[in-house]
Amino acid sequence: MSTGNNGSMNTSYLAYAGILALAVIQVVVALTRGPSLGRMLILAGIQAYLAVMFFMHLRDEKPTLRIALIPATLFVLVMLNMVWADSFRLIHLRPFAK
């Protein structure tokens, strides 16, 4: 069973520090510069990458598992973006396209 937990905990401690540092940066940036959706999502994405690869040890699993899990999830999440056009139509009170 490939768990990746048998090695040193050092990478886990580094990932822990990195995730917390990014959380603080996120809040400080939001308070000082205002919350920008793009900036917030990039920082959250890096945090998620650290958690998945170093806490959940997906990095240490076989590449087939990464290929089976990550693209399918990202595909669904990307396809969900099709709702935005309709939400902008609503705020401008435009009728449905004919």
Partner 1 sequence: MSEANLTMDHGAGVMEERPFAIPSSKLVMWLFIISDACTFGAVLFAYGYIRNSAADWPLVFEAASIWNALLMTFILVTSSLTILLAVRAAQSDDRAATFRWTMITAAGGILFALLHIREWMSLISQGVRLFQNPWGAPMFGATFFSVTGLHMAHVIGGVVALIVVGVGYKTGRYATKHVEIWSLYWHFVDLVWMFVVPLIYLLNMKR
Residue 31 interacting with partner 1 (CB under 8 A): yes
Residue of 10, 32, 87, 96 interacting with partner 1 (CB under 8 A): 87
DSSP string covering the chain, please?
---S-SS-SHHHHHHHHHHHHHHHHHHHHHHHH---HHHHHHHHHHHHHHIIIIIS-GGGS-HHHHHHHHHHHHHHHHHGGGGHHHHHHHHTTPPPP-
Per CB under 8 A, 25 contacts partner 1: no
- Which residues are at the interface with partner 1 (CB under 8 A)? 1-3, 5-6, 9, 12-13, 16, 19-20, 23-24, 26-27, 30-31, 34-35, 37, 40-41, 43-44, 47-48, 51-52, 55-56, 61-62, 64-65, 68-69, 72-73, 76-77, 80-81, 83-84, 86-88, 90-91
